[in-house]
Amino acid sequence: MIFRRLLTTAAMTAAALSGFSLPATPAEAGTPAVVSVHAPAAAPCTSKWRAVKRVAVRRPGPYDGPVATMNSPVHHHLSRGQVVRSCIVAVGRTQSGPAYRACGKDGSLWRIVPGGQVPQTCLKRA
């Protein structure tokens, strides 16, 4: 309520300084009385990734936490060249070094794809 009053006061002050007059209430102006200060809705995910070879999509097990490990259960596989959408990355670091060695590289970033998580080293930007 206070924020709305500040906005109205600021608008009236700006209008008075510029020589214009504003209606006394938002209802007189024909606009809704409630002003939304929320951010606009986010755009849908459009980031596409291509599998460089056949790779397992893993789901974190009950003891893994939110990030999968190489011992997590396999949900399904991505075949080589299959394109998936992924806009979110899970970071799974360990104290002794990289979290996994997959597709010939070490890494700790897991791409969240439909059905689970895939090591980012096994994906290439499509």
pLDDT tens-digit series, residues 87-126: 999 999 888 889 999 999 999 999 999 999 999 999 999 9
DSSP three-state, residue 17: helix
pTM over cut 0.75: no
Domain boundaries, the chain: 1-38, 48-125
pLDDT tens-digit series, residues 34-59: 656 677 778 888 899 999 999 999 99
